[in-house]
Structure 1
Amino acid sequence: MEWTKDQFVLSDQQEKLDMDTVCRLLASTYWAADRPRDTIVKSIENSITFGIYTEERQIGFARVATDKAVFSWLMDVVIDEPYRGNGLGKWLMDCILEHPDIRETNMSLKTEDAHLFYERYGFKRNETMRRASTFHAGDSL
């Protein structure tokens, strides 16, 4: 799917993603600063992804892991610094929430600093349980 707003295009087509830009954007965040490129690539292959582009240059990214029926998890929402404050994050969220593979699912996310932003979209703060991976790259099965 594609959406258009002014000079921006938002697309869920993975083949349009600029992996160098995605890696650079994620490296600028507190949650994925040290995430290896191969992990980013694998996570994208197993997610519904969203890229924002202007003049064919990628300036935003988000991804959703979902079973497309009940559950979805929103992750890695980031807009390139020079484009922040122009409503692109809001537009990105609007498009994600209307996506046919996502709109009827219960969506979760984790954030340390954007609670008010996500509360506008109906997200509620709550305690969640989490199990961290005990397997590390280089370990054998």
Structure 2
Amino acid sequence: MTSSLPDGYAISTDPARIDTDRVHAWLSEDAYWALGRPRAQQDKALAGSLNFGVYDAASGEQVAYARVVTDAATFAWLCDVYVDRSVRGKGIGKAMVTAIRDHLEPLGIRRVLLATQDAHGVYEEVGFKPLEHPERWMALYFS
């Protein structure tokens, strides 16, 4: 299963290309899971993650972002997936998540987890499934 980016867009894992101001604005102002996230916390998260950006090939402007927290050997957590409102509906999100899946698969990672409130269908198209044994999973929450 492959999904390529629409013509005129390119994906990169180069952290130097990430428009950190734009990503912080997207997440802290428009993403339900990260509303109000402080800039210092976002920068720290970005620094400790494998980052993916999608860019308009003509202008170089970043139009989408996702990050993966991983040991690059056994486990990965896909998070902060965001596509700019101006380019939604073009298949950029699905193509980006497919590229992330294809980037991680050869590393030997056993599972990639994510949490979503409203995009289950998009992730299912890329191969994600509900947890097989959710009763085995636990979380530690800090207030």
Determine which structure has the larger helix proportion and give its number. 2
The residue number in structure 1 matching 2:65 is 61
Deviations 1:57-111 (A, max 9, x none): 1110000000111100000000000100001011101110111xx2131100011
The residue number in structure 2 matching 1:139 is none
Identity of aligned residues (%): 37
- Bigger RCO (CA 8 Å, 6+ sep): 2
Q: TM-score, normalised by structure 1?
A: 0.86
The residue number in structure 2 matching 1:40 is 42
How far the C-alpha of 1:15 sits from its partner, in A, is 0.6
With over 3 angstroms needed to count, the CA separation of the structure-2 counterparts of 1:4 and 1:88, relative to structure 1, is closer
Of 79, 83, 88 in structure 1, the residue corresponding to residue 83 of structure 2 is 79
The residue number in structure 2 matching 1:113 is 118
How far the C-alpha of 1:133 sits from its partner, in A, is 2.8
Of 120, 125, 129 in structure 2, the residue corresponding to residue 124 of structure 1 is 129
Q: Which amino acid aligns with 2:52?
A: F
C-alpha contact 2:94 2:123 (8 A) present in aligned 1: no
Q: Which runs of 4+ in 1 moved over 6 A?
A: none
Q: Which amino acid aligns with 2:139?
A: R
The residue number in structure 2 matching 1:89 is 93
> Aligned pairs, how many?
130
Give distance in 2, aligned partners of 1:133 and 1:43: 17
Q: SS of the residue aligned with 2:121?
A: helix
Give structure 2 stretches of 5+ with no counterpart.
none
